[in-house]
Structure 1
Amino acid sequence: MKLSEIADFLNLEYKGEDIEISALNSILEANFMQLTYCDGEKNSKDIERTNAGAILVSQSFKHLVPKETKALISQNPHLDFAYLSKLFAKSLISKEKKENHIAKSATIMPNVYIGQGVSIGENVIIMAGAYIGDNVSIGDESIIHPNVVIYNDSKIGKKCQLLANCVIGSDGFGYAHNKNGEHFKIYHNGNVILEDFVEIGACTTIDRSVFSSTIIKAGTKIDNLVQIGHNCILGENCLLAAQTGLAGSSELGRNVVMGGQSATSGHLKIGDFTTIAARGAAIRNLEGGRVYGGAPAMPQRDWLKLQAKMNTLIKERKS
Structure 2
Amino acid sequence: MTFKLSQITQALNIDFNGNDIDIEGIHTLSEATSTQLSFFNDSKYASQLSSTKAGAVLIDKEHAALLPLETIALITDEAYLKLALASKFFAHKLQSKGDEPVLGQGCDIDPTVNFGKNVVLGENVTLLAGCYLGDNVTVGSNTLLHPNVTLYHGTQLGKNCIVHSGTVIGCDGYGFAHTKLGEHVKIYQNGNVVVEDDVEIGANCAIDRAVFGTTYIRKGTKLDNLIQIAHNCDVGEHTLMAAQVGLAGSSILGKNVVMGGQSATAGHLEVGAFATIAGKGGVTKSLEGGKMYAGFPAVEIRVWRKMQAALMRLVKNR
TM-score of the two chains, using structure 1 as the length reference: 0.96
User: Would the aligned equivalents of 1:144 and 1:163 in 2 still touch at CA under 8 Å?
Assistant: yes
Q: Aligned AA for 1:6?
A: I
Aligned to 2:9: 7
32-41 or 260-269: bigger deviation: 32-41
Aligned to 1:48: 50
Q: Separation in 2 of the partners of 1:50 and 1:85?
A: 19
Shift of 1:98: 6.7
User: Would the aligned equivalents of 1:265 and 1:283 in 2 still touch at CA under 8 Å?
Assistant: yes
Aligned to 1:90: 92
Shift of 1:297: 0.4
User: Would the aligned equivalents of 2:16 and 2:72 in 1 still touch at CA under 8 Å?
Assistant: no
Q: Separation in 2 of the partners of 1:194 and 1:260?
A: 22
User: Would the aligned equivalents of 1:265 and 1:282 in 2 still touch at CA under 8 Å?
Assistant: yes
Q: Aligned AA for 1:167?
A: V
1:131 aligns with 2:166: no
**Residue 244 of structure 2 aligns to a residue in which SS?**
coil
- Structure 2 residues without counterparts, runs of 5 or longer: none
Alpha-carbon RMSD = 1.3
Shift of 1:112: 0.7
Q: Aligned AA for 2:52?
A: T
- Structure 1 residues without counterparts, runs of 5 or longer: none
Aligned to 1:173: 174
Shift of 1:93: 2.9
Q: Separation in 2 of the partners of 1:211 and 1:49?
A: 19
Q: Aligned AA for 1:204?
A: C
Does the C-alpha gap of structure 1 residues 15 and 188 become closer, same or farther in structure 2, counting only changes over 3 Å?
same
Q: Aligned AA for 2:32?
A: A
Q: Separation in 1 of the partners of 2:178 and 2:201?
A: 33
1:303 aligns with 2:304: yes
**Residue 230 of structure 1 aligns to a residue in which SS?**
coil
Aligned to 2:292: 291
Q: Separation in 2 of the partners of 1:241 and 1:98?
A: 37
Q: Separation in 2 of the partners of 1:291 and 1:247?
A: 20
Deviations 1:140-193 (A, max 9, x none): 110001100100111100110000000000010111111111111111111101
Deviations 1:208-260 (A, max 9, x none): 01111101111000010000011110111100010000001100001000000
**Residue 72 of structure 1 aligns to a residue in which SS?**
strand
Q: Separation in 1 of the partners of 2:34 and 2:255?
A: 35
Aligned to 2:143: 142
Q: Separation in 1 of the partners of 2:4 and 2:104?
A: 42
Aligned to 2:121: 120
Q: Aligned AA for 2:77?
A: Q
Aligned to 1:16: 18
Q: Separation in 2 of the partners of 1:31 and 1:15?
A: 19
**Residue 63 of structure 2 aligns to a residue in which SS?**
helix
Aligned to 2:165: 164
Q: Aligned AA for 2:16?
A: Y
Q: Separation in 2 of the partners of 1:128 and 1:98?
A: 18
Q: Separation in 1 of the partners of 2:124 and 2:250?
A: 34
1:64 aligns with 2:66: yes
Aligned to 2:194: 193
Q: Separation in 1 of the partners of 2:17 and 2:96?
A: 36
Q: Separation in 2 of the partners of 1:150 and 1:99?
A: 16
Q: Aligned AA for 2:212?
A: F
* Pairs aligned (count): 316
1:265 aligns with 2:293: no
Identity of matched residues, %? 49
User: Would the aligned equivalents of 1:93 and 1:134 in 2 still touch at CA under 8 Å?
Assistant: no
**Residue 62 of structure 2 aligns to a residue in which SS?**
helix
Q: Aligned AA for 1:117?
A: N
Q: Separation in 2 of the partners of 1:293 and 1:118?
A: 43
Q: Aligned AA for 2:285?
A: R
User: Would the aligned equivalents of 1:135 and 1:153 in 2 still touch at CA under 8 Å?
Assistant: yes
